[in-house]
Amino acid sequence: MPTVYECAKDHGAVIENWCSDLYIKFDPDIWKVLCDECPDGLRNAQHFTSHDGTRWIDVPFGYDPYWEARR
């Protein structure tokens, strides 16, 4: 089963991060894919709106490159 990061990246989602936290720009189609393909990885996910009005999905500790750099 892919990680949330892998799934979002594979489906062309806009991805940002802060340290190990993964931010995915909210899109209804991406959200459905994430829910279908990696629901376990979304257990702690939250939605938020940035100061410019953009909606995002915050996945704590979900930014894979952060962890890969520390192996």
Identify the pLDDT of residue 71. 85
Helices vs strands, H then E, count in the chain: 3, 4
Beta strands 21-25; 46-49: pairing state: unpaired
> Which regions in the chain score pLDDT beneath 50?
none
- Write down the domain spans for the chain: 4-68
Q: Which two tokens stand for residue 24?
A: 């995915």
Q: What is the pTM of this model?
A: 0.94
Q: Note whether 66 and 20 are within 8 A (CB).
A: yes
- 17 SS3 class: strand
Residue 62's pLDDT is what? Answer: 97
Amino acid code (one letter) for 13: A
Q: What angle do CA 6, 38, 32 make, to 5 degrees?
A: 100
pLDDT for 1 = 83
Q: Can you give the pLDDT at residue 11?
A: 97
